[in-house]
Amino acid sequence: MNVLRNNLDKVISRIEKARIAYSRHQIINFIAVSKYSEILDIEKMYELGQRAFGENKVQDLKTKSQTLTDLPIQWHMIGTLQENKINALLALKPALFHSLDSIKLAKTIEKKAEGSQTSLKALLQVNSSYENTKSGVLPQEAKEIYQEISKNCPHIKLEGIMTIGPTSNNTKAIESCFKKTKDIFDSLQSEGAKTLSMGMSGDFEIAIACGGNMLRLGSVLFQK
């Protein structure tokens, strides 16, 4: 418990320092990425005050949320979604699906959500690093696709956008990716976008400096 408390305290301190440097008016939310964590550690992190947790796989999200059903945890689905797992995800009613990465996936979710009379809050994933290993729509197509999903998929409630920084230690490259995403986000605020999810354990301070307001933090919180 002490190790996790120390991790959480350090992370909150770092977030606050970066937040104030960017803007005292900025509100930052962060998701504790629990994909490699045991149930006990999630319970401990909850006891320390953390309420939002994210999983990469639908099956893990189901198992952990059902095991911890007595805790009012806000569960997020942050990983790539396979089409054959859509119904299972919709049944779990996550707080937010971070990785809506194509118009094709959106149309399939819409069809299944309509059939089950459910809805899904989601972020459009943008591949702002242009890396082949990452999912997401291209930056130059993001606004048009966002508008198309908003118009044609009434059972998907778009809340904003998400990106994953480049696999690099080059601060300038990471900044460039995040700034590009922030520009897209700014252009979508008139469409109702309010969440800019970017920044993970290795680059979250850069994300905050570029205007990100939701972080996905795993190892920096759960390391022992």
| pLDDT tens digits, 100-116 | 999 999 999 999 999 99
- Which residue ranges make up each domain of the chain? 2-222
- Up-side HSE of residue 76: CA atoms within 13 Å toward CB? 24
**Local confidence band at 68 (pLDDT 50, 70, 90 cut-offs):** very high
The answer to whether residue 35 scores a pLDDT higher than 80 is yes
The answer to whether residue 1 scores a pLDDT higher than 80 is no
Averaged pLDDT of the chain: 97
pLDDT, tens digit, for every residue of 163-182?
999 998 999 999 999 999 99
Angstrom distances, CA of residue 20 to CA of 27, 208, 218: 10, 10, 23
pTM of the full structure: 0.96
Position 224 scores a pLDDT of 87
Q: What percent of the chain has pLDDT over 90?
A: 98
Position 164 scores a pLDDT of 97
Q: State the Cα–Cα distance between residues 176 and 88, nearest whole angstrom.
A: 36
Q: CATH number of the domain at 2-222, out of 1.10.3720.10, 3.90.79.10, 3.30.70.20, 3.20.20.10?
A: 3.20.20.10
Angstrom distances, CA of residue 221 to CA of 14, 151, 152, 200, 202: 12, 38, 38, 11, 12
Position 137 scores a pLDDT of 98
**Local confidence band at 206 (pLDDT 50, 70, 90 cut-offs):** very high
Position 57 scores a pLDDT of 97
**Local confidence band at 198 (pLDDT 50, 70, 90 cut-offs):** very high
The answer to whether residue 37 scores a pLDDT higher than 80 is yes
Residue partners of 73: CB distance under 8 A and separation at least 6: 42, 46, 51, 52, 53, 65
The answer to whether residue 183 scores a pLDDT higher than 90 is yes
Looking up tokens 């680059």 gives: 203
